[in-house]
């Protein structure tokens, strides 16, 4: 068994190091402070006995646990990110340990009257009787994704200390800047050299994900013509009205606030407007590739229609693909999901297989040649002061990693 105290100690040592990513920086890592944890992790991997521990110029860490069997087994990888979200501060995190959680309100901060309550966050009730790690209400926790890092390191340590568990070669990868969408950008898939991998970056215990959105961003620029309003008849073109027509021509109920499950959407996320120019910012999301392409066409068609009505190039729409559904890359190697599901079942964890309404680093990695489903890391309420993680879920995630390694070795290649 993996000890609770050991997990708590390791996790706490990570979250108390500030690694907030900076979306305004072009460097990698985006914030220099991410090196503080990166360097510590590289040292720790060496200390527990991992081999080929490398940390590159961009703070990407890789390490190897060699195979302990004499036959050929596929090389598998486990990946997580050590940066935290810029949505909320990650400086001076003071983790609180709530033992034997009683199912009632948790006062995070008495002075500021900040309460973590199951009335609002019902998921808390899943963990009655367990040990929770919370914030003190003034920062995020960083379980996203230092829980994942902690689980991977702990699983490798466990496998090293229990050589009776047979496994093939295992690669470990820790990345910076996932929270600003760049975690996979400089990930050297070839150097990693795994047949497939798992990101340990999901939330609730049991989560197993291999479908995500196809994603694009669109910028719609509408040009107007400014004339003195007193003399504007037949001359002024008010870009804001044309933009409004554009907005109203898209299906009003295919928006985030009206969709769930596999339903896609157009999301208007920003408008800036004056008579002369209005700019609309959209994101387009759909799990289905054909529907995704159709959504982009709808926008292009609408642009052409309005242009033929108001004059050439009044509207210029620029659409850029952002990422794709990993399902296309994972389905042909579906056994990698099956192994994870089997591992959970053997550990009495109910697998929660669902489509992500977002993206993961794994979706980018899957298109870079490393099929990469996502597994729970255990935390809840990411990116804010109400973030928490049950220690029992972290232990289970650690066991899932060990079990996947074991099952992969049993399957032989």
Q: Which residues are catalytic?
A: 83, 178
| Helix, strand, coil shares, percent, the chain, to 5 | 35, 25, 40
Contact status: 20 vs Zn ion (CB under 5 A): no
Query: In angstroms, what is the minimal distance from the CB of 393 to Zn ion?
Result: 15
Tokens of 41: 């992790």
Segment interacting with Zn ion, rule: CB under 5 A, options 140-148, 297-305, 349-357, 395-403: 140-148
Q: Which residues touch 99 (CB under 8 Å, ≥6 apart)?
A: 131
Contact status: 144 vs Zn ion (CB under 5 A): yes
Contact (Cβ atoms closer than 8 angstroms) between residue 267 and residue 203: no
Contact status: 209 vs Zn ion (CB under 5 A): no
Query: Edge-to-edge strand order for the sheet containing 96-98?
Result: 96-98, 132-134, 388-390
Tokens of 152: 């991977």
Binding-site size for Zn ion (CB under 5 A) equals 3
Looking at the Cβ atoms of 20 and 195, the one nearer to Zn ion is: 20
Looking at the Cβ atoms of 66 and 358, the one nearer to Zn ion is: 358
In Å, what is the CA distance from 297 to each residue of 293, 300, 305? 6, 5, 12
Segment interacting with Zn ion, rule: CB under 5 A, options 139-147, 213-221, 321-329, 346-354: 139-147
Contact (Cβ atoms closer than 8 angstroms) between residue 146 and residue 40: no
Q: Which residues touch 314 (CB under 8 Å, ≥6 apart)?
A: 222, 223, 237, 239, 242, 306, 307
Segment interacting with Zn ion, rule: CB under 5 A, options 21-29, 112-120, 126-134, 142-150: 142-150
Query: In angstroms, what is the minimal distance from the CB of 184 to Zn ion?
Result: 12
Looking at the Cβ atoms of 296 and 396, the one nearer to Zn ion is: 396
Looking at the Cβ atoms of 264 and 378, the one nearer to Zn ion is: 378
Interactions with Zn ion, residue window 80-99 (CB under 5 A): none
Looking at the Cβ atoms of 168 and 379, the one nearer to Zn ion is: 379
Task: Report the C-alpha gap between 33 and 37 in whole angstroms.
Answer: 8
Determine which residue in the list 18, 20, 44, 201 makes contact with Zn ion, applying CB under 5 A: 201
Interactions with Zn ion, residue window 222-241 (CB under 5 A): none
Query: In angstroms, what is the minimal distance from the CB of 352 to Zn ion?
Result: 17
For residue 79, which of 207, 199, 202, 210 has the smallest C-alpha distance?
Answer: 199
Q: Using CB under 5 A as the criterion, what x/- string covers residues 95-134 for binding Zn ion? A: ----------------------------------------
In Å, what is the CA distance from 298 to each residue of 240, 319, 393? 20, 12, 44
Query: In angstroms, what is the minimal distance from the CB of 81 to Zn ion?
Result: 6
Segment interacting with Zn ion, rule: CB under 5 A, options 64-72, 92-100, 195-203, 249-257: 195-203
Segment interacting with Zn ion, rule: CB under 5 A, options 60-68, 196-204, 207-215, 278-286: 196-204
Q: ∠ CA(193), CA(197), CA(200), 5° rounding?
A: 135
Looking at the Cβ atoms of 95 and 224, the one nearer to Zn ion is: 95
Q: How many CB atoms lie within 10 A of CB 359?
A: 20
Determine which residue in the list 20, 83, 145, 387 makes contact with Zn ion, applying CB under 5 A: 145
Output the residue with the shortest Cβ distance to Zn ion.
Answer: 145
Residue corresponding to tokens 């944890």: 37
Q: Which residues bind Zn ion (CB under 5 A)?
A: 144-145, 201
């Amino acid at each position: 068994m993996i000890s609770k105290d050991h997990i708590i100690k390791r996790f706490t040592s990570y979250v108390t190091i500030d690694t907030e990513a900076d979306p305004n920086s072009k460097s990698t890592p985006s914030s220099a402070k991410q090196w503080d944890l990166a360097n510590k992790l590289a040292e720790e991997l060496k200390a527990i006995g991992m081999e080929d521990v490398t940390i590159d110029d961009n703070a990407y860490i890789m390490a190897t646990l060699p195979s302990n069997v004499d036959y050929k087994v596929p090389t598998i990888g486990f990946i997580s990110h050590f940066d935290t979200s810029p949505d909320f501060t990650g400086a001076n995190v003071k983790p609180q340990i709530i033992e034997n959680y009683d199912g009632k309100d948790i006062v995070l901060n008495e002075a500021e009257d900040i309460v973590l309550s199951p009335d609002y966050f019902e998921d808390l009730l899943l963990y009655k009787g367990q040990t929770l790690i919370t914030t003190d209400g003034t920062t995020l926790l960083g379980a996203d994704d230092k829980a994942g890092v902690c689980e991977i390191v702990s699983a490798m340590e466990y496998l090293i200390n229990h050589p009776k568990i047979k496994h093939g070669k295992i690669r470990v990868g820790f990345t910076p800047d996932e929270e600003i969408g760049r975690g996979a950008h400089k990930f050297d898939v070839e150097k990693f050299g795994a047949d497939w991998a798992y990101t340990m970056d999901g939330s609730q215990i049991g989560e197993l994900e291999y479908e995500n959105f196809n994603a694009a961003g669109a910028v719609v620029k509408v040009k107007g013509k400014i004339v003195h309003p007193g003399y504007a008849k037949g001359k002024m073109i008010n870009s804001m009205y044309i933009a409004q027509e554009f907005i109203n021509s898209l299906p009003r109920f295919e928006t985030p606030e009206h969709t769930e499950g596999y339903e896609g959407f157009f999301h208007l996320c920003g408008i800036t407007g004056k008579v002369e120019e209005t700019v609309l910012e959209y994101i387009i999301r759909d799990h289905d590739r054909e529907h995704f392409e159709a959504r982009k066409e709808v926008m292009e068609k609408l642009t052409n229609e309005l242009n033929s009505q108001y004059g050439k190039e009044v509207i210029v729409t620029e659409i850029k693909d952002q990422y794709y559904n990993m399902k296309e890359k994972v389905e042909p190697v579906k056994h990698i999901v099956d192994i994870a599901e089997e591992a959970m079942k053997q550990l009495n964890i109910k697998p929660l297989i669902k489509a992500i309404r977002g993206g993961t680093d794994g979706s980018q990695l899957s298109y870079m040649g490393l099929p990469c489903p996502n597994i729970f890391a255990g935390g809840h309420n990411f990116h804010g002061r109400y973030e928490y993680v049950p220690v029992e879920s972290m232990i289970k995630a650690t066991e899932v990693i060990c079990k996947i390694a074991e099952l992969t070795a049993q399957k032989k290649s």
